[in-house]
Every structure is written in structure tokens, then in C-alpha cells.
């Protein structure tokens, strides 16, 4: 997986401008995660500036965590414009399955056809595949190992995009190749927006690498940063802070030493 450290170097060298239309809870969190990894975040949702901003951006992150009718309209317009401008898009369908509005909004955004990566937890991705999984808000549901793996592959085929189903093990697939990543730490579940951070970091990597490699790189690096942070503290407030520190500190050696990426299909 030599491309993982190389992708990180490309992010840090290019400092891609990542345009985010994200939820109100994590705006600060994901902006700081993007800065720490070496990208340049901007948040902009006004319909009148979407085109201007997307023209200078290198990727778009859409996160529906605190959607409403105004924000949905912005997201739909942004996905359309980004598609025309051929800017890669990652979608985080926060809470899909918990409410019909979230499920439908995510599906509508996927229908436009320009989403390059979809990242969610098992119940969110399952809901989008019509399994009517009932999520508990933004939390992970009970983890079912094989289901997650199969779900990533099936959803990738269904939506014709890269799909990452994250949890204790992260699975990601483009419908042909499927990978598992065993990095990460359970303290991630004690801090809000860590899934959103992972999605935002995928946004930085799809600006410099093709979608599947970008997703593998982003999630491996994020998981390793979490592991290093957990070596310094066992409590959520401090862990959150150390997570930014380690996104900033992570380097080629650490990736080579710690990455646990497995190609499981084909």
C-alpha cells in the first residue's frame, strides 16, 4: 500500500481547497481535521456563491447531519455544479434510516450521479440500500462483521460509487475491489463528529488520488492517528485534542509501521 503515504504527501504538498457543506455540529471539528492533515477547508452554503467557490475548490464534502429545506437545496445545487465541473464529491449520509427526510435526501443526492465516495456506518448505508435499518441518530449500530463487508460491496455496485462502511473494522469497495482496514480505536465513539472527520479527510484525499485509493488512504491514516492519540489518553476530551495533533504529526514511517489494510476481494 505504498500509495497511502504518497497520497498524504500529495495532500500536504498541494493543500487542496476542500469545499464543505456540512452539519452545524461538526463544522469546526472537520475544518480543524482538514487543516491538521494539511488541506485547506472552506465552508460555504449560499446558493449564490456555490459556483464561484467550487471553481476554485478541488473537492466537495456533503454531510447531511443537520439538514433542513434550505441546506438541502444548497447541497443539491452544489452536487450538480461539482458534477459539471468534474470536482470529486464525498457524501456522508448522517442519520439515514433514522428519518425519511435523511434517507430521501441522501438518495436524491446519490441520484445526481456525481458522488465519488459514500461513507457511512452500517445502519446508514443499509438504510440507503432499502433495508430499512433503523439508526439511532448518528451513532453506530450493533456491528455485524460480514454484513458490513457485503454491504460495502453491494452498495458500491448499486450506487456505482466507492462505498465505505466504517465501524470497528472499516470496509470499502468500488464494486470490484474490496478492502478492510483494521485501524482505529473505540474512543472515536466517545467524541461527536469523528465519522464526519473521516469523511472530510476523504474529501482531502479525493482531491489528489482516485476514489478507492483515496478512501483507503484517508481511513487508514485517520485510524492510525486515533490509535496514537489513544496511547496518550484514555478520556474523550483529551483524546479529541490529541487526534488533531496526530493528524498533523502522522508521517510515512508511522503509516508503514501501523497501517493494517487488507485486500479481501477479489
> What residues line the site for its own copies (CB under 8 A)?
15, 17, 19, 23-29, 31-32, 35-36, 40-49, 52-53, 56-57, 65-70, 95, 98-102, 134, 136-139, 189-193, 233, 235-238, 240-246, 248-249
Q: Smallest distance, Å, CB 156 to its own copies?
A: 27
Question: Quick one: cell of 205?
Answer: 484525499
Query: For residues 196 and 26, is the Cβ–Cβ distance under 8 A?
Result: yes
Interatomic CA distance for residues 120 and 92, integer angstroms? 6
Strands 162-166 and 115-121, bridge-based pairing: parallel
- Please, which residue, 66 or 150, has the CB nearer to its own copies? 66
Q: Smallest distance, Å, CB 148 to its own copies?
A: 20
- Please, which residue, 86 or 235, has the CB nearer to its own copies? 235
DSSP H or E run through 144: none
Q: Smallest distance, Å, CB 201 to its own copies?
A: 14
Q: At what angle do helices 27-37 and 194-206 cross, to 10 degrees?
A: 40
Taking the CA atoms of 174, 180, 184 and 186 in sequence, report the sign of the dihedral they define: positive
- Please, which residue, 28 or 108, has the CB nearer to its own copies? 28
Q: Smallest distance, Å, CB 150 to its own copies?
A: 26
- Please, which residue, 22 or 178, has the CB nearer to its own copies? 22
Amino acid at each position: 500500500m505504498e500509495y497511502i503515504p504518497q497520497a498524504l504527501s500529495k495532500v500536504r504538498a498541494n493543500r487542496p481547497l476542500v469545499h464543505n457543506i456540512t452539519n452545524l455540529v461538526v463544522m469546526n471539528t472537520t475544518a480543524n481535521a482538514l487543516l491538521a492533515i494539511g488541506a485547506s477547508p472552506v465552508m460555504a452554503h449560499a446558493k449564490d456563491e456555490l459556483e464561484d467557490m467550487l471553481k476554485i475548490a478541488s473537492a466537495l464534502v456533503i454531510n447531511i447531519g443537520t439538514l433542513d429545506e434550505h441546506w438541502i437545496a444548497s447541497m443539491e445545487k452544489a452536487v450538480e455544479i461539482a458534477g459539471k465541473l468534474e470536482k470529486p464529491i464525498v457524501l456522508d449520509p448522517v442519520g439515514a434510516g433514522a428519518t425519511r427526510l435523511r434517507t430521501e435526501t441522501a438518495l436524491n443526492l446519490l441520484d445526481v450521479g456525481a458522488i465519488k465516495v459514500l461513507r457511512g456506518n452500517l445502519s446508514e448505508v443499509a438504510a440507503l440500500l432499502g433495508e430499512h435499518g433503523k439508526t439511532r441518530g448518528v451513532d453506530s449500530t450493533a456491528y455485524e462483521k460480514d454484513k458490513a463487508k457485503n454491504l460495502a460491496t453491494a452498495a458500491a455496485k448499486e450506487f456505482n460509487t466507492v462505498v465505505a462502511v466504517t465501524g470497528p473494522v472499516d470496509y470499502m469497495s468500488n464494486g470490484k475491489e474490496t478492502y478492510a482496514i483494521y485501524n482505529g480505536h473505540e474512543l472515536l465513539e466517545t467524541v461527536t463528529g469523528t465519522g464526519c472527520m473521516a469523511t472530510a479527510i476523504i474529501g482531502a484525499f479525493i482531491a489528489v488520488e482516485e476514489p478507492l485509493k483515496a478512501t483507503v488512504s484517508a481511513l487508514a491514516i485517520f485510524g492510525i492517528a486515533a490509535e496514537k492519540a489513544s496511547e496518550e489518553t484514555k478520556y474523550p476530551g483529551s483524546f479529541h485534542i490529541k487526534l488533531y495533533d496526530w493528524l498533523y504529526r502522522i508521517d510515512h514511517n508511522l503509516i508503514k509501521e501501523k497501517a493494517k489494510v487488507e485486500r479481501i476481494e477479489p
